[in-house]
Amino acid sequence: MALMQTLVGLQILLLFHLLGTTAAQPIGVCYGTVADNLPPPKEVVDLYEANGIEKMRIYNPDPSIMEALKGSNIELVVGVPNEDIQTIATSEPSAIQWVQNNIQTHINYVKFRYIVVGNEIMPNDQQAQFIFRAMQNIYAALVSFKLHTKIKVSTAIKLSLLGSSYPPSQGSFSPSSYSYIKPIISFLADKDAPLLVNLYTYFTYIGDPNDINLDFALFSPSNTTIKDGKYEYHNLFDASLDAVYAALEKLDAPNLQVVVSESGWPSDGGSAATVLNAKLYYQNLVQHVTQGTPKRPNQALETYLFAMFDEDLKGPAETERHFGLFHPNKNLKYQISFTSCSSESDVPNSSALSMKTMLYTTSFFLFFLIFWVQRRKLLY
């Protein structure tokens, strides 16, 4: 009996260690489909899995994508198309029908993470007046299906909703956006849901290339350092995100989680849009998001790279067509890893892989040793 307890204990310890070494990564990838040359959804899902990408964001509830996700472990962020928002906001039965058709129908084989009501809606947009009510109605519909504890409801905002972002501690939403964003933030805080933010240092850089260092925008080493009270900033991404956190504090939501729902860099079509810069940005971003920001350190940041493929029907800016990580033939445009590591010592090497193999082998051996001992006890 003592031998059995020891063997079982050893196996449990090994399994916990293995689970710890294969923890879920915070990186997802946006799957945009504004193109006429993309592979079928099943091949796209296979591509996600082959590259260890565990989270997907789509912008409308495409049934063919839902079907392709059957049997996968990919977590899905799904958008409510902007054109459906008014109907959902003004009709609770319409919200229930939308959740029934697009969520409940697929709930047994799709791992839904968030429902995103509106993407980059600005206060002056026609849909802005309907976002908050639509979020409420979608949430109520989830409650009716008992899904509200499994799936969060949010919206994705642009960084330009901030009226002030420099220095980061002075981050605040613009006065013109207060009436729009304040009830949304209160809703998210009340429902323990994150705010989704599309954060592109590329657009910030090209908007002010004379005052913003390119390396600072790319996470590359530079002479630029922003000192803001007790914090120092060595890249534009952290400075921008901490400005969002400061803005949330001013709306009495200091602990609200933020998810970076889009971030990327174009490889062609405009100023500083090169393959080299894009590769640097994506890989540096993947490695950086486990570290948190100066304001919220050591907090892995859920981040969605934009985007899986170049989308040849987007525009009007040429850069909009060149954010893809993969070519339509499914080859990687850049040789990057989608696994984030908190430091160079975390990057898998031959020794680490050998240790992992040894642990799996030992666990396998212990399992059969336990089985053999149990069998002998039954025979004798």
Lowest mean per-residue pLDDT among 185-189, 223-227, 243-247, 321-325? 223-227
Query: Is the pLDDT at 1 greater than 70, yes or no?
Result: no
pLDDT of residue 375: 54
- Average pLDDT in the 257-272 region? 98
Per residue in 283-326, pLDDT tens?
999 999 999 999 999 999 999 999 999 999 999 999 999 999 99
Tokens standing for residue 274: 């090169």
Per residue in 118-171, pLDDT tens?
999 999 999 999 999 999 999 999 999 999 999 999 999 999 999 999 999 999
Query: Is the pLDDT at 114 greater than 50, yes or no?
Result: yes
Gap between the Cα atoms of 209 and 197, Å rounded: 23
pLDDT of residue 339: 80
Greater pLDDT, 60 or 21: 60
| Alpha carbon distance, N-terminus to C-terminus of the chain | 15
| Average pLDDT value for the chain | 88
Contact predicate 38/13, CB 8 Å: no
Per residue in 211-227, pLDDT tens?
999 999 999 998 899 99
- Average pLDDT in the 27-56 region? 97
Listed residue (359, 260, 348) closest to 13, CA to CA: 359
pLDDT of residue 23: 42
Burial string for 242-272 (b: 16+ CB within 10 Å, else e) reads bbbbbbbbebebeebbbbbbbbbbbbeeeeb
Q: What is the pTM of this model?
A: 0.85
Strand partners, 260: 197, 303
Per residue in 333-368, pLDDT tens?
999 999 865 433 333 333 333 334 444 444 445 544
Percentage of the chain beyond pLDDT 70 is 83
Lowest mean per-residue pLDDT among 24-28, 77-81, 140-144? 24-28
pLDDT of residue 360: 42
Query: Is the pLDDT at 30 greater than 80, yes or no?
Result: yes
**3-state SS of the chain: helix, strand, coil percent to 5?**
45, 15, 40
Confidence of residue 21 (pLDDT cuts 50, 70, 90): very low
Per residue in 86-113, pLDDT tens?
999 999 999 999 999 999 999 999 999 9
Query: Is the pLDDT at 58 greater than 70, yes or no?
Result: yes
Listed residue (271, 269, 274) closest to 314, CA to CA: 269
Q: Which residues are designated catalytic?
A: 120, 262
Tokens standing for residue 138: 């979608």
